[in-house]
Every structure is written in C-alpha cells, then in structure tokens.
Amino acid sequence: MAVILVVDDDPISQRLLGYTLQKQGHQVLSAMNGLLAIARLDQAEVDLVITDLTMPEMDGPTLLKHLRADPRYAELPIIMLTASGQDQDRIEARAAGVSDFLTKPTSSRELIETVARILS
C-alpha cells in the first residue's frame, strides 16, 4: 500500500489517523509540525501527506505552499485536515494546491474513502 505522512501537533489525532490508515495496510509516518514534516519528506519516499491546518512552528498552509514550490513535491497529494470549517480556509487551501480538505472530526470511513480516491 502507500506511505502516508500524518502532520498534526495533537498526538491523539496522530494516533487515531495512524491506526485507521494502518488498518488499511498503509505505512504511516508522523510529524508534529510543518518543519518536521519537511525533514521527514527528505528522509523517506511518501505517497500522500495528511496535514492539520493549525500547528506551531509551521502551519498546514505554509507547509502546503512550501511543498508546492519544491519540484520534488509539487505533485505530491496533500489532504488538509482541520477542526476549522471556515469556507475561507477551504478556498485558500484549494488555491494553494491541496488535493482535498476534510473537517475534524472526520469519520474513519470518510478518511479511508478520501485516501483511496486520491491514491487511485
């Protein structure tokens, strides 16, 4: 299956996402913020990034812009996952090149379906 990087500063969210994705056969890597995510991406081949919107050090939108500006990651699928349901957040994330946008709490089923669709 796929190697998925989960970027979230909440350890509980990381564990829940990781558990759900691992049950589907994916390998899960994790990072607590965008800066650590970039370091992880430099260490491992990743098929998909799932990132939180709001994090310390480097937030999701900044990470997204950084990855889209880097030719190595310009086409890497990225899902933005956040507790914010604001339309403006979705508009900005789509404009920056996010592959999809999920709102917390998201169901395991919705996560699995979104990941499967993006990876297919």
Give the CATH number of domain 3-119: 3.40.50.2300
29-47 pLDDT, tens digit per residue, is: 999 999 999 999 999 999 9
CA distance 5 to 14: 10
Helix (H) or strand (E) holding 27: strand 27-31
pLDDT tens profile 109-119:
999 999 999 99
**10 Å Cβ neighbour count for 81?**
23
The domain segmentation of the chain, as residue ranges, is 3-119
Question: In 3D, which of 43, 42, 41 has the Cα closest to residue 6?
Answer: 41
pTM, 2 dp: 0.92
DSSP 50: E
The C-alpha angle 30, 31, 37, rounded to 5 degrees, equals: 115
